[in-house]
Amino acid sequence: MRPETLHTADITAAAIVGRVLAHDVQAMVGTERIRLRKGHRLSAGDVPTLHAADRTVHLIALEAGDVHEEDAARRLARAVAGAGIQIGDPHESMITLRAGERGLLAVDVERLLAINSIPDMSVWTLFDAQIVRDRQAVAGVKVTPLVTQEAPLVEAERIARGEPGILRVQPFVHRRVGVVVREELLPAAGERFREAIMGKVAWFGSEIIAIIHPTNAVTTVIDAVQSLIADEVDMILCAGVTSTDPLDVTVQALDRLAVRWEKRGVPAHPGSTYWLAYLGETPILGMASCGMFSRATVLDLILPRFFAGERVTARTLAALGHGGLLNKGMAFRFPDYAGPEIAAADE
C-alpha cells in the first residue's frame, strides 16, 4: 500500500478514484451534511465533498497484494464460521457472526488463539460451550488496518481450514432419558424433583421416558438400569447417589454391570461429587442430592453437552475446573430453565 496526501486544490477524480480514505471527512454540500468514513473507497462522486471540506486528506493507494479491510473481513469471517453460523455484512469494517439456530456454541480455542496471533487479524467470541439462541451474536471479526496484505490473510485461512470449524453451533437433538432415583423423598419433595428434572430435559427438546424408584438393594438398581437400557434410552441419570461411599448400592450395582467408569468427581462446585460412567455406549451420570433441585450445578453444565450430541468424557469433566467455581457471576453459563432461552443483552 502507498500512503498519499492531497491538498484541496489537487483533488480530482483521477487523483482519488480507487483510493481508500484514511480518516473521517465531513462537509456541507449545498444543504446536505455528508460524512465520508475512514476506510471508504473513493469514487468520482466524492470530489464535491472533499472540496467542500477544504482540508488536506490522507489516502491509501492499493498495490499488488493489498486487500481492503472489508474484503479481508469477509474472507476471515468465511474462514472461521462453521456449521450453524450466519455471517453478517460489514459495519464500519466489523462483521458480526450470529447463531443460525438454538444450541451450544463450540469454539476451537487453540486455533482461535493462533489466528489472533497473526498481525492484523482479530476474532472475538462468546465462551466455548455457552448456550446460544437463534440469531444471537456469537462472535465478531475485524481486520485492524484499513488495508492489509494478502499473506497474513492466507495464513489465517490456512489455520481455519478443515472440519470442524473454529466456530460452530451444535443444535440440541432429541434424546430419550431414563432416571433412577434412590433418594427416599417425601411425596411433596418427590413430586418437586420430578417436575424439576422433567422441566430441565424438556427445555432441551428431549423427554424422560421413565423415572424408576428402586428399593435400597443392589439387585433392584441393576434391574432398573437394565430396564432402561432395554428401552434404548440415550442416557441415564442416577439421583441420590453417594459416590464417595464404595458400598453405595448404586455404585455396587454399576460395578456388577461392568460399567466403564469415566470419572468419579468433577473439579467444580457445587457438584464436585458427581460421576460419569458408560454401560456400552450409554452414558450414566450420577448426581448427589444437591443436584436434584438446584438450577446451577455441574449437572446443568453437562446436560447441554449431552443434548448437543457431544460424547462427554473424563477430559470434558476435567476441563470444567477452569471456571468451576459456580457462583452467581456464572449465571450466564447455565440454561435459563425458568425464563426466556437467553436474555437478549447483546442486542
pLDDT for res 293? 63
May I ask the CATH architecture of the domain 2-61? Alpha-Beta Complex (3.90)
Q: CA-CA distance, 197 to 254, in Å (whole number)?
A: 22
Q: Find out whether 318 and 263 touch, Cβ atoms under 8 Å.
A: yes
Ranges 136-140, 142-146, 245-249: which has the least confidence = 245-249
Q: Do the bridges between strand 167-171 and strand 207-212 make them parallel or antiparallel, or are there none, so unpaired?
A: unpaired
Ranges 130-139, 257-266, 291-300: which has the least confidence = 291-300
pLDDT band at 270 (very low <50, low <70, confident <90, very high): confident
**What is the percent of the chain with per-residue pLDDT over 70, rounded to a whole number?**
94
pLDDT band at 245 (very low <50, low <70, confident <90, very high): confident
With a threshold of 0.75, does the pTM exceed it? yes
In the three-class reduction of DSSP (H, G, I as helix; E, B as strand; rest coil), residue 161 is classed as coil
Which phi and psi (to 5°) does residue 155 adopt? -65, -40
Nearest to 221, CA basis, from 207, 239, 233: 239
pLDDT for res 182? 81
Q: Read off the pLDDT of each residue in 206-230 and give the average, rounded to a whole number.
A: 95
Nearest to 168, CA basis, from 204, 129, 118: 129
Domains 2-61 and 66-171 share a fold: no
Kindly list the domain boundaries of the chain, sorted by start residue.
Answer: 2-61, 66-171, 176-333
- Judged against a pLDDT cut of 50, whether residue 87 lies above it is answered with yes
- Alpha helices for the chain (secondary structure H): 13-16, 47-53, 69-80, 109-116, 150-160, 187-203, 218-230, 249-256, 299-307, 314-318
Query: Is the domain defined by 66-171 classed in CATH 3.30.870.10?
Result: no
Q: Read off the pLDDT of each residue in 36-41 and give the average, rounded to a whole number.
A: 94
DSSP string for 250-268: HHHHHHHTT-EEEEES-SS
pLDDT for res 342? 38
Which tops the pLDDT comparison, 96 or 162?
Answer: 96
Q: Find out whether 208 and 236 touch, Cβ atoms under 8 Å.
A: no
The CATH number that domain 176-333 falls under is 3.40.980.10
Q: CA-CA distance, 257 to 231, in Å (whole number)?
A: 17
Q: What 8-state DSSP symbol labels residue 320? A: G
